[in-house]
Amino acid sequence: MIKIIDSKKMGKSDRGWLHSIFHFSFAEYYNPNNMNFGPLRVINDDIFDAQNGFATHPHENMEIISYVVDGVLTHKDSMGNKRELTRGQVQYMSAGTGVTHSEYNLTDNQLRFLQIWIMPDKNGYNPNYGDYQFDWKDRVGKWLHLVSNKEGSAPVQIHQDMNLYVVELDKGETIEYNLAKGKQAYLVQIEGTGKVNGLHMNEKDGAEIVDEEKIEIKTDTKAHYILFDMKAE
C-alpha cells in the first residue's frame, strides 16, 4: 500500500525569513494522527532567506540529519564544531544527553534543506557530530546510501535501524528499490515530478509505503528523491 502525502496539505509555517513545510507534527502544526512514521519523527522542508537562521538552541535524545538541497548551511555547536555544507551534503548530530547548536544561511541567496529527526533506539547516548561531503555524481541514476545504523556500511551511522538513500534521475528514467520482508519506507520527492508504483508525486510530496516488496519510480521530469527504509511497525 502506498499513501501519497500532498505537500499542499502538509503543515506549514512562514516566519517571514523562514518558510517551512512539515511532513509530521512540528511547532505550530499539531496533528495527533500525524506524529511520526515509525522512528521517523520530523521531516521539515526548510527555506532560509538570505542572512537568517536559527540562533543557538538545545536538543536531546534525537538523531538529527540535515540534507542540503540548495545554498550553504552554516552549523555551529556546543561540541566545538563549525561547518559549512552545500548541495547534496549531509550533516549528522546525535543530540543524546544534550547539545546546543545554531544553523544559519550567511549568504545572499536562499538556503533550502531537509531537517530530519529520527528517534534513537534508546536515550542517553553521548552527543556526537559528523558530516559527509558526498560527490553529487554518486547519486545520479543510482541509489546512494547516505545513512545506516551502527552495524551498517553507510558513511553516516546513527543510533537507529534505518537506512537513507538518495537518487537523481533524468526525465523518463526508471529506478527500482526492493523492500525486505518486515520493512516499510517513506519517500520524499525533493525536486521534480514522477510516479511511484504508478501514483503521481509532485515536488515536495511524501509517500508512506507499507506491504510493498518493490518500489518503482519513474520520472516525468528530472527529479531528486530521498528514501527512508525502516522496520515495519
pLDDT digits (tens, 9 = 90+) for 44-61: 999 999 999 888 888 899
Question: What is the predicted pLDDT for the residue at 101?
Answer: 87
Amino acid, single-letter form, for residue 10: M
Chain segment 115-160, per-residue pLDDT in tens: 999 999 999 999 999 999 999 999 999 999 999 998 888 999 999 9
Q: What are the C-alpha distances in Å from 219 to residues 7, 138, 209? A: 18, 19, 18
Chain segment 172-213, per-residue pLDDT in tens: 999 999 999 999 999 999 999 999 999 999 999 999 999 999
Q: Which of 43, 10, 22 is nearest to 186 (CA)?
A: 43
Strands 156-158 and 144-149: parallel
Strands in 151-222 per DSSP E = 156-158, 162-169, 174-178, 183-191, 194-196, 199-201, 206-209, 214-219
Alpha carbon of residue 17 to chain centroid: 21
Count of residues for the chain? 233
- Write the DSSP assignment of 83-117 as a string of letters: EEE-TT-EEEEE-TT-EEEEEEE-SSS-EEEEEEE
Q: What is the DSSP letter of 136?
A: G
pLDDT-based confidence at 233, cuts 50/70/90?
A: confident
Average pLDDT, the chain: 95
Alpha carbon of residue 154 to chain centroid: 15
Q: Is 139 helix (H, G, I), strand (E, B) or coil?
A: helix
pLDDT-based confidence at 77, cuts 50/70/90?
A: confident
Task: Calculate what percentage of the chain has a pLDDT beyond 70.
Answer: 100
Better-predicted residue by pLDDT, 35 or 53: 35
